[in-house]
Amino acid sequence: MSRKWRNVALLTLCEVLAMTLWFSGSAIIPGLRAEMALSDDQAAAMASAVSVGFVAGTLLSALLTLVDRVRPQYLFMISALTAAAANFATFAVDPAGPWMPVLRFVVGACMAGVYPVGMVMVSSWTEKDRGLLVGLLVAALTLGSASPHLIDVFGGLDWRFTIAASSACATGAGLLVLLFEPGRPFARAARFKPAQMLEAWTDPALRYANFGYFGHMIELYAVWAWIALFLASSLALSPGGNEAPQLAKVLAFTMIGSGAVGSIAGGLLADRVGRTRLTMACMSVSGLCCLLAGFVFGMPIWVLLLLCVIWGISIVADSAQFSASVIELSPPDYIGTMVTTQTCIGFLLTVGTIHAVPYLVGAFGWSGAFVPLAAGPFLGVLAMAKLRSLPQSAKLAHGRR
């Protein structure tokens, strides 16, 4: 294995291990509910606090340009170890109490020093394969996010095992990342200038690229946060419903983990078929899956598995392309501000949709809970179609818009 791919593989492994923390709080909800009273609002707060923390961490990192002030390997290490400690501190608090969302907030804030910093690190090795390497990092995020569901199965659905194992994984990531060697000196981070944020709305091309991303995010994290409970409720209606919790975890891992394949394929295809084409195709399929979820609720496991694989691949295959579009459409001095603005608003939107799902379940049942989320990707398709019609879209993917 060449020096390049040895380091890319190491970084990918570190991302997978560290990102197990993101949904470790969501994965343990069924186990917590088996032991204590945990309301839907408390469960939603555990999931959404990570997104809020990620926004806060992203803004702080951008304002202080931490990636320029601290060696990226050290910033990744500090972030991963701090997040692991916050996750492990769950044992010291009441999981149903007010401190649990605080700890999840800290985990989310630290993830801003893991995933975006990993992108900076892998960029030191990019040549003509940027799409592939970015796809690998998004795949690592996806696989890491899925892992707590599988860890929970191995631990016999004991939430303590999941918390301990995910904390250990992140600790390992924080130590292993020190072995990473950059391919070339790290480029200086693009500056975040709040005064430039208005450009994200006044420039039509940037506005449509952002709206496409926002539509994508309205669906993504709400589905990832609640898919395990949707699957468990569906499987409980089938013969052998006693095995529903374990099977639901395996299917949830399959659904989210399938996105790793989609992320790599999306990274490879986007530079060939065009960013708007790829994003519109992916959002059309994932939005359709949102609508179909209600129809397959309670159906045999093979039907659920088929939905999970198709949905899992399509829901995230386009994710990196929205950031890539903003980078290509922005003036060089504006890139840092535009990417930070897009990321922060997108993750803030996930807070609302994550909290909305329990109310949608109460109103429509699980068979109709995901249907309103389909509005996000379908509106995203319209936004990317508008972007495609603009002359500025010729800047995307070297003219392959």
* Single pTM value for the model: 0.90
- Which class for 127: exposed (0-12), middle (13-18), buried (19 or more C-beta within 10 A)? exposed
Q: What confidence tens digit (pLDDT) does each residue in 78-133 have?
A: 999 999 999 999 999 988 888 999 999 999 999 999 988 888 888 888 776 666 77
Cα–Cα distance measured from residue 67 to residue 115, given in angstroms and rounded to the nearest whole number: 12
Q: Which two tokens stand for residue 313?
A: 């691949």
User: What is the chain's mean pLDDT, rounded?
Assistant: 89
Write out pLDDT tens, residues 203-232.
899 999 999 999 999 999 999 999 999 999
State pLDDT tens for residues 147-163. 998 898 887 778 899 99
pLDDT given at position 186: 72
Q: Of 273 and 306, which is predicted with more confidence?
A: 306
For residues 370 and 312, what is the distance between their CA atoms, to the nearest angstrom?
14
Identity of the residue numbered 301:
I
Does position 260 have pLDDT exceeding 70, yes or no? yes
- Going along the chain from its start, the domains and CATH numbers come out as 1-178 (1.20.1250.20), 193-401 (1.20.1250.20)
Q: Which helix (H) or strand (E) holds 170?
A: helix 159-176
Between 201 and 280, the higher pLDDT residue: 280
Residue 30 CB burial class (10 angstroms; 0-12, 13-18, ≥19): buried
Determine contact, residues 165/149, Cβ cutoff 8 Å.
Answer: no
* Alpha-carbon distances, residue 156 vs 152, 153, 228, 250 (angstroms): 6, 5, 15, 12
For 222-259, give the secondary structure using H, E and C.
HHHHHHHHHHHHHHCCCCCHHHHHHHHHHHHHHHHHHH
Buried residues in 305-330 as b, exposed as e (16+ CB within 10 A): bebbbbbbbbbbbbbbbbbbbbbbbb
Mean pLDDT of 244-262: 90
- The pLDDT of residue 241 is 58
Q: What is the pLDDT of residue 30?
A: 82
